[in-house]
Amino acid sequence: MIQPLIWVDGIIGAGKTTVAKEIGNLLNLHVFQEPLNEELLKIYYEDQTTWGFSFQIDMLNKRFAIQSEAARTINHQQGAVIDRALPGDRVFTQMLMKDKKINPINWKIYEYAYNMFIQTIHPPNLLIFLDVSPEVAFQRIKDRNREAEQDSLLPLSYLHRLHSEYQILLNEVLSGIHPWSSQIEVWFIDWNEDWQPIKPIVENIKTHFRVLNFFYKEKQETILVY
């Protein structure tokens, strides 16, 4: 039986943490939340040139540990939901590289580690991208009022850049150019309205995995016949 492994992704302020928790609760899936340390996050936003590489390599290691734990969870016959996975995290590092806030040597170090990790992870069967405009995300960030995410540290222009970089990643996933992305189903969900019901998404997830497991069973039975 195919166990669900779902990545929930989106720009900062999209609402992915809440959505991941609700999907996990309603479907009895193990939820892996973002491994954020707000103190480190604050100094990262205050001075990305000094702390960009250190912060992102730390996040890469922590996310890889989460991916590894999620794979073990699936092996024990329970599905899992991950709140932003390795490829989403790389978007942030790539922005730092493009802005020359990390030097080319550190970018090569990051890319080497990322490419080694991404080849060993258990890829998801479903990637849910919460499609939220930068303006809506900006307001949600203001409403949750984290010290590390004040306007001066996380301006609207940054969210516009982030949204654009995510579109590049998602187009690459849809085209299957990454070895891990060829079998992934990608759902774009408009999540601009506050307090949207999660149950329709959950019902669609149930249907998706019923279909996956139907064809998986058919394939296994065919193999046994031969």
Q: 128 by DSSP, 3-state: which? A: strand
CATH number at residue 78: 3.40.50.300
Give how many domains the chain has, as a whole number. 1
* Mean pLDDT value across residues 131-147: 91
pLDDT at 134: 97
- 217 versus 33: the higher-pLDDT residue is 33
pLDDT at 83: 97
Structure confidence at residue 225 as a pLDDT band (50, 70, 90): very low
- Domain residues for the domain of 165 are 5-225
The residue type of 38 is E
Q: For the chain, give the number of residues.
A: 226
* Mean pLDDT value across residues 128-140: 96
* Mean pLDDT value across residues 161-172: 95
* Mean pLDDT value across residues 7-19: 96
Cβ count near 119 (within 10 Å) = 9
Cβ count near 136 (within 10 Å) = 18
Q: Alpha-carbon distance 159 to 147, whole Å?
A: 17
* Mean pLDDT value across residues 95-106: 95
pLDDT digits (tens, 9 = 90+) for 45-86: 999 999 999 999 999 999 999 999 999 999 888 999 999 999
From residue 221, alpha-carbon distances to 8, 217, 218 in Å are 32, 6, 5
